[in-house]
Every structure is written in C-alpha cells, then in structure tokens.
C-alpha cells in the first residue's frame, strides 16, 4: 500500500512485529517507543476492561518518558501515540503471554480442535492536546487438530512466549491448522485496522 501523508505524526507504543507490520500495511510511517510496565500488576475481571487498562497504562508510561517540550505543545504537526493490548479468552479464562514451556504447551494443546476468543484494545493519545480515544474489538479463532510435533516446534522456536495466549495466527506452523476466523484477522494479530483508523480520526 502506498504511504499515506496524514496531517499528523504517529508513535507506535509497541515492540510487536505484527503491530508494526499492520500499521505499515495501513500506509503509515511511524516511530516506535516501548512502554516498560508491569502488566501483571494490572488486573481486571473482564477481558475488555483488562486490555483497555493495559493499553492506557502503556500510553501513560510512554507520555511520562517523552522529553520535555515534546508533548502538549502546539507545533506544525500533531503527534498521535498508538498503544494496544491483546488477550486470549479460552473457556472463560483470560490468557496473557505464557510464562513457561509447560503453560505454553497447555495453551496450544487446548486450542487443538477447539476455539478461542481474542480481545484487543487500541488507545490513541493526542500528544498536543492530551485527548485520548480508545476502544476494543474481538474475534473468534477455530482450530483443527494441532499435531504434537507442531506444538513442540512452536515451543522450541520460543515465539509463543511473546504473544497473548501463546497464539500466533500468522505463523507458518500455525496457519495450516486455523479452520476459521470469525471477525477481523488483524484483531487476532494485535491491531484492528478499522478501529485504529477510527480512533486516529477521533483523537485529532
């Protein structure tokens, strides 16, 4: 997609490769800042509340780290900060990034021949005005039976530890075992395109 030339600059507050790829696909140029927050220290009962709270906490952490004079000032270009968070919900239980090989294996074996929901938030903060807009989207992923050797390979590669619920839809090992996605694939990958576009406009 050709690069857009919007009347604003973008900071992506995420180290996620999938989110970088999605925002690039959308035609935007951006810089990257990461938020070093204790995600486990933020708890909410509902997945929608949790992903919103985490995305807002990431935005707060990045705003605090910005050098003096780079925020809340009028310049020739508004800067919009995008933060996001994703969790997987399996049988009513919220799953974040697996913390051990055992947990990663349990997560992926559970999806085999079953399904899981993905809930993802997007928060856009206007650094010139302080205005913040946010929302969440969800999708369901249905899986075929995933062979043990594929699960072993995914865990050996280590990639499952970097993604919510150990679930990386776009991975070449995982993709053949995805039966159906109900909802937006980019939501599953970590950044809903439609929601992001909507919030970028709202935050101006």
Active site residues: 85
Longest dimension (CA), the chain: 56
> What does the alpha-carbon distance between residue 203 and residue 198 come to, in Å, rounded to a whole number?
9
CA nearest 191: which of 121, 116, 141?
A: 121
> What does the alpha-carbon distance between residue 59 and residue 11 come to, in Å, rounded to a whole number?
10
If you count them, how many residues does the chain have? Answer: 204
Q: Which helix (H) or strand (E) holds 10?
A: strand 8-12
Which letter, b or e, does each residue of 102-120 get, where b requires 16 or more Cβ atoms within 10 Å of its Cβ?
Answer: eebbebbebbeeeebbbbb
- Inter-CA distances, 21 with 18, 39, 57, 80, 87, Å: 5, 23, 23, 18, 19
SS (H, E, C) 65-119: HCCCCCCCCCCCCEEEEEEEEEEEEECCEEECCCCCHHHHHHHHHHHCCCEEEEE
């Amino acid at each position: 997609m050709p690069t857009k030339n919007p009347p604003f600059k973008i900071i992506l507050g995420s180290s996620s490769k999938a989110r970088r790829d999605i925002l690039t696909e959308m035609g935007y140029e951006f810089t990257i800042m990461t938020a070093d927050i204790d995600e486990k220290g933020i708890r909410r009962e509902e997945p929608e509340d949790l992903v919103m709270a985490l995305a807002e906490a990431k935005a707060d952490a990045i705003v605090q780290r910005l050098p003096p004079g780079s925020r809340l000032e009028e310049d020739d270009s508004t800067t919009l900060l995008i933060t996001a968070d994703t969790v997987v919900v399996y049988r009513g239980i919220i799953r974040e990034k697996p913390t051990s090989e055992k947990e990663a294996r349990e997560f992926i074996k559970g999806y085999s021949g079953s399904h899981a929901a993905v809930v993802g938030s997007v928060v856009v903060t206007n650094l010139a005005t302080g205005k913040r807009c946010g929302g969440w989207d969800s999708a369901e992923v249905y899986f075929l039976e995933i062979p043990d050797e594929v699960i072993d390979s995914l865990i050996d590669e280590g990639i499952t530890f970097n993604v919510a619920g150990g679930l990386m839809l776009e991975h070449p090992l995982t993709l053949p075992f995805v039966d159906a996605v109900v909802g937006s694939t980019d939501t599953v990958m970590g950044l809903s395109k439609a929601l992001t576009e909507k919030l970028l406009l709202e935050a101006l």
